[in-house]
Amino acid sequence: MDTQNENRESTPTLGIKDKYLEQLHSDFHLVSEIVLTQISLASSLLHQKPEESVLHELKRNEKIINSLDITIKEKVINAIMLFTPRASDMRRLIAYHDMTISMERVGDLIENITHLILEIDFTLDGFDNYKKLLDKMFVQSGKMIKNAVFSFAGGSNEMAYETIHMDDKVDKMDKKIERKLAEGFGNEKLSSQALINIMNINSISYYLERIGDKAVDIAESAVYLIEGRDIRHVKLSNP
């Protein structure tokens, strides 16, 4: 009889805990989708005159990201206090916490990038080609974020490691843009708008490289969840 009572008491607790973790996963999936949308919206500003509806969506999404950041962190803390999670669940909670920090930071970087793009005049001589270079960085960094999230959701450590190794490509793109700017405009007398263009393009490239770094952080959290191994300070060999 005592055993039956114990089972009846424990079952609801397990159900609540599982439902709580599902809600956390749903919240993280939502913030991931919004961040990927932000990357796409920001990249579209390179090629078209900014519409008020697009700028409004970017601002609205940033507020949602910040709100979800707070919500997820609070849920992680509450889960630890309420459920005394076992090791595997604790790793998952820590992963959600760390990945949400990375996602919120990506949102901030996209917000910075948006402001910088709006100040650039790509019609000035010598600047049009940089739209293509930045476009490639948007695609690569967005792909890294998507792969990192998928590696977590699908429990794929292979995709997580693949994301980490992709970071070298984004780093090289950033250095290429910095080098081309120096070579292309280093010996010219420049207008104030040209100087703004150079500084902003260089900053956008740097921020996109930082988004790649955040994707690596998420992939490392996925590896921690799947393998129980912290690889943040481990030098990985290229495949």
239, part of any domain: no
106, part of any domain: yes
Are 157 and 95 a contacting pair, CB within 8 Å? no
Question: 70-106 pLDDT, tens per residue?
Answer: 999 999 999 988 888 888 888 889 889 999 999 999 9
Residue type, 70: I
235, part of any domain: no
> What letters, b where the CB count within 10 A reaches 16 and e where it falls short, cover 176-210?
ebeeebeeebeeeeeeeebebbbebbbebbebbbb
Comparing 107 with 12, the larger pLDDT belongs to 107
Are 235 and 126 a contacting pair, CB within 8 Å? no
Domain that holds residue 60: 2-227
Q: What is the pLDDT of residue 50?
A: 84
For 161-182, what is the mean pLDDT? 94
| DSSP letter for each residue of 113-179 | HHHHHHH--TTSTT-THHHHHHHHHHHHHHHHHHHHHHHHHTT-HHHHHHHHHHHHHHHHHHHHHHH
Are 39 and 142 a contacting pair, CB within 8 Å? yes
Number of domains in the chain: 1
**pTM for the full model?**
0.87
Cα separation, 132 vs 176, in Å, equals: 13
Are 173 and 133 a contacting pair, CB within 8 Å? yes
Q: What is the pLDDT of residue 154?
A: 82
145, part of any domain: yes
Tokens 């739209």 correspond to what residue?
Answer: 131
59, part of any domain: yes
185, part of any domain: yes
Domain at 79, CATH number:
1.20.58.220
Cα separation, 19 vs 192, in Å, equals: 56
42, part of any domain: yes
129, part of any domain: yes
Res. 215: pLDDT tops 60: yes
